[in-house]
Amino acid sequence: MQLTSRFVLLLAAVVLVGCADKTSDVSDRSDKSDDLYFVGTYDPNVDPADDVQRAVDLATQQNKRILLQVGGDWCGWCHKMSDFFHENGQVVTALRDGFVLVKINKSDENSNEEFLKQYPEIEGYPHLFVLEHDGTLLHSQDTVELEEGDSYSLDAVVGFLAEWAVPG
């Protein structure tokens, strides 16, 4: 193999490794591949109050409501919900048009207990809170009511999002 070919292969490998698994960075944790999320991952190192304030700013500018998804990477149903939110066109559209979605971490690593005290008690995970664009709590939703079999009901989720989207 010529020296130039080896250099090109080495350069390609370095570029691929550099792009492979970028972890969230504090200055920009948005999921750039899908603007559905304001925050793309449950991050135990983040102050949720800061993220909610950023969501308030965005929701106010875009005339949307805020949807808090409380859970964690440890939670199988949390993963199912995130996948469901990404894989169903009607849900993607309803979320993108009506909400700024913020994931709030709840885990052994960081329970965010102090932050979550301002909201009603949570029975199970994931749990959803709907906030007005200014951050005022409008609704607390147990997601068990949105389940169907081993996933979520498209009709129930779309109905929930339609009910809590900004009127008009």
- pLDDT tens sequence across 82-137: 999 999 999 999 999 999 999 999 999 999 999 999 999 999 999 999 999 999 99
Residue 147 maps to a domain = yes
Cα–Cα dist 78/86, whole Å: 13
pLDDT of residue 68 exceeding 50, the answer is yes
Residue 117 maps to a domain = yes
Residue 2 maps to a domain = no
Q: What angle do CA 92, 142, 128 make, to 5 degrees?
A: 45
Residue 16 maps to a domain = no
Cα–Cα dist 40/28, whole Å: 10
Q: For residue 160, give the CATH number of its domain.
A: 3.40.30.10
Considering its fold, how many domains does the chain have in total? 1
- Both tokens of 155, joined, read 């009709």
Which helix (H) or strand (E) covers residue 102, if one does?
Answer: strand 99-105
Residue 23 maps to a domain = no
Range of the domain at 126: 29-164
Residue 158 maps to a domain = yes
- Residue 140, φ and ψ in degrees, nearest 5: -115, 125
Give SS3 for 25.
strand
Q: What angle do CA 56, 48, 91 make, to 5 degrees?
A: 60
Question: For the purposes of burial, counting CB atoms within 10 Å of the CB of 7, is it exposed (0-12), middle (13-18) or buried (19 or more)?
Answer: exposed
Cα–Cα dist 72/93, whole Å: 24
Residue 17 maps to a domain = no
Residue 67 maps to a domain = yes
- Residue 107, φ and ψ in degrees, nearest 5: -150, 175
Tens of pLDDT, residue by residue over 8-44, are: 343 343 333 333 333 333 334 444 334 555 656 799 9
What pLDDT score was predicted for residue 41?
A: 79
